[in-house]
């Protein structure tokens, strides 16, 4: 935008300057020409008194020498009766005869200048032609200097307009850049960012609107976080009751699994409260995806054994750092494995695989169940064909996209659904 403003100012001012400069240059040249001829006319008229009162050659020559043009060999007197010329003439005989026929003031263009011819009736009824010669340098005296001055003024005007346009463009660009940086900061989760209200009036209005929007978003998200934290906190009472009931189950593998599940649920509630209180600033410290897979399969393997589900895990023996918190990655994996246990019959095989690439870690969960008929609908938030909340795949998708990755659902080699959680590698 700044460059465009400068180019527009340069083009517009240059056209205006040329529109005035060319006519002014012509006027200056014509004015110099007219001024030189006017001076020649005055020099010629200076001889009129002498020619009216005398015809003596010596007195005529003296009158010629007394003028400025006469001293410069540029003044002459042509008498018709007798036919004689005094002074320095620069015209031909044909030019003189033509001037005598016209009997009015005229000019004759010569290669080295212009001759001004002034006819005068003498006392002897003859006609005297007074010739005043103006060389070319006198006809254009001061023209070149004036042209240079005009050109300098034009260049100054163009440079001034370009400078003003550049400053205005820089002001607008600076304000626009501040808006872009503010929008980028909000996009990265910094809700405290505000932009300075500077620049042209329109940019100021945009800045005010941006700040008002940012403040509104901050208030709305703060209220949402408080609601989430309050609701999560309210779950503590029934969780405490469940934990007490689980203690009454006594010992045994089933009782231990129930108590472990209740404790895990309590930890998840604590994480939700912590995340809601901390705001939207992302935690980019990262976690090891392989460690999360191993830990969560310890939990899910017990349920798989009860339901006689064969399962395998591959690629979890090598570290796979990803820019997600442990809780977020565990929630995404639990959502994918929970779908396997919820929507496939008991005894259905499933597999979890970590695929290691240079800049990507793919967490693949696949099963041998009936698969997902409408994969596009399945990944939409709140959409479910099995009576659930429809949030499982959406949780996994948002976790992947927060790292710059993606989620893909298709049919895998086991015959059922295959969900690929592609995460950017740290």
Please indicate whether residue 54 or residue 309 has the higher confidence score (pLDDT). Answer: 309
Q: pLDDT tens for residues 367-378?
A: 999 988 766 666
Residue-level pLDDT at 388 = 47
Rounded Cα–Cα distance for residues 343 and 131 (Å): 120
Mean pLDDT, residues 317-331 taken together? 90
**All residues at 6 or more sequence positions from 36 whose CB lies less than 8 Å from its CB, including other chains:** 114, 134, 138, 139, 141
- The pLDDT, as a whole number, for residue 233 is 59
Lowest mean pLDDT: which of 80-84, 356-360, 373-377? 373-377
Give alpha helix (H) positions in 143-252: 143-187, 201-234, 236-247
Highest-scoring range by mean pLDDT, 222-226, 297-301, 354-358 = 354-358
- Residue 107 and residue 86: Cα distance in Å, rounded? 19
Q: Which of 38-52, 159-173, 196-210, 386-400 has the least mean pLDDT?
A: 386-400
CA–CA separation, 57 and 348 (whole Å): 140
DSSP state of 141: T
DSSP class per residue in 351-391: EEEEEE-SSEEEEEEEESSS--S-HHHHTSTT--SSSS-S-
pLDDT in the model for residue 123: 57
Q: Please check whether residue 419 is in contact with residue 393, taking contact to mean a CB–CB distance below 8 angstroms.
A: yes
Residue 221 in tokens = 């998200």
Q: Which region among 233-242, 297-306, 403-412 has the lowest average model confidence (pLDDT)? A: 233-242
Mean model confidence pLDDT for the chain? 83
Tell me which H or E stretch contains 137.
helix 136-139
Q: Tokens 């001004």 identify what position? A: 116
Q: How does 107-121 read in b/e, with b if 16+ C-beta sit within 10 Å? A: ebebeebbbbbbbbe
Instruction: Please state, in angstroms and rounded to a whole number, the distance separating the CA atoms of residues 373 and 343.
Output: 12
Percent share of the chain, pLDDT over 90:
21
pLDDT tens digit string along 378-394?
Answer: 666 544 554 444 567 88
Least confidently predicted of 173-182, 241-250, 341-350: 241-250
How far apart (Å, rounded) are the C-alpha atoms in residues 43 and 132? 7
Comparing 3-17, 85-99, 226-240, 282-296, which segment has the lowest mean pLDDT? 226-240
The answer, yes or no, to whether residue 343 has pLDDT greater than 80, is yes
- Rounded to whole angstroms, how far apart are CA atoms 66 and 50? 11
Q: Is 80 exceeded by the pLDDT of residue 5? A: no
The Cα 28–Cα 143 span in angstroms is 6
* Integer Cα distance of 82 and 78 in angstroms: 9
**Low-confidence winner among 49-63, 205-219, 272-286, 405-419 (lowest mean pLDDT):** 272-286
Rounded Cα distance between 34 and 147, Å, is 17
């Amino acid at each position: 935008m700044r460059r465009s403003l400068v180019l527009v100012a340069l083009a517009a001012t240059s056209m205006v300057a040329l529109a005035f400069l060319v006519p002014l240059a012509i006027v200056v040249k014509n004015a110099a020409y007219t001024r030189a001829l006017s001076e020649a006319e005055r020099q010629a008229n200076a001889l009129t008194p002498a020619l009216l009162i005398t015809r003596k050659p010596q007195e005529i020559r003296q009158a010629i020498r007394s003028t400025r043009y006469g001293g410069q060999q540029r003044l002459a007197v042509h008498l018709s009766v007798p036919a004689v010329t005094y002074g320095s003439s620069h015209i031909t005989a044909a030019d003189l005869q033509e001037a005598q026929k016209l009997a009015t003031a005229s000019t004759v263009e010569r290669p080295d200048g212009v001759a001004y011819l002034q006819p005068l009736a003498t006392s002897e009824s003859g006609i005297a032609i007074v010739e005043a010669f103006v060389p070319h340098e006198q006809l254009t005296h001061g023209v070149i200097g004036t042209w240079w001055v005009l050109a300098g003024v034009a260049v100054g005007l163009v440079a001034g307009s370009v400078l003003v346009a550049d400053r205005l463009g820089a002001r607008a660009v600076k304000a626009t850049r501040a808006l872009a940086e503010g929008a980028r900061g909000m996009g990265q989760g910094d809700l405290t960012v505000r932009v300075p209200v500077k620049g042209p009036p329109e940019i100021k209005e945009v800045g005010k609107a941006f700040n008002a929007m940012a403040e509104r978003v901050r208030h709305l998200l703060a209220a949402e976080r408080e609601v989430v934290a309050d609701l999560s906190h309210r779950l503590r009472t029934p969780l405490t009751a469940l934990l007490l009931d689980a203690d009454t189950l006594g010992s045994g593998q089933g009782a231990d699994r129930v108590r472990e599940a209740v404790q895990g649920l309590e930890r998840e509630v604590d994480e939700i409260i912590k995340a809601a209180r901390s705001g939207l600033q992302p935690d980019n410290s990262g976690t090891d995806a392989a460690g999360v897979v191993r830990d969560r399969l310890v939990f899910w393997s017990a349920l798989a054994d009860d339901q006689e589900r064969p399962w395998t895990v591959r690629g979890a023996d090598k570290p796979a750092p990803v820019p997600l918190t442990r809780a977020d990655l565990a929630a995404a994996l639990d959502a994918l494995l929970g779908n396997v246990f919820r929507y496939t019959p008991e005894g259905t095989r499933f597999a979890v695989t970590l695929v290691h690439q240079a800049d990507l870690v793919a967490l693949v969960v696949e099963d041998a169940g009936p698969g997902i008929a409408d994969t596009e609908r399945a990944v939409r938030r709140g959409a479910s064909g099995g009576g659930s909340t429809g949030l499982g795949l959406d949780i996994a998708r948002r976790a992947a996209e927060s790292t710059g990755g993606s989620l893909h659902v298709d049919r895998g080699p086991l015959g059922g659904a295959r969900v690929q959680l592609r995460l950017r590698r740290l």
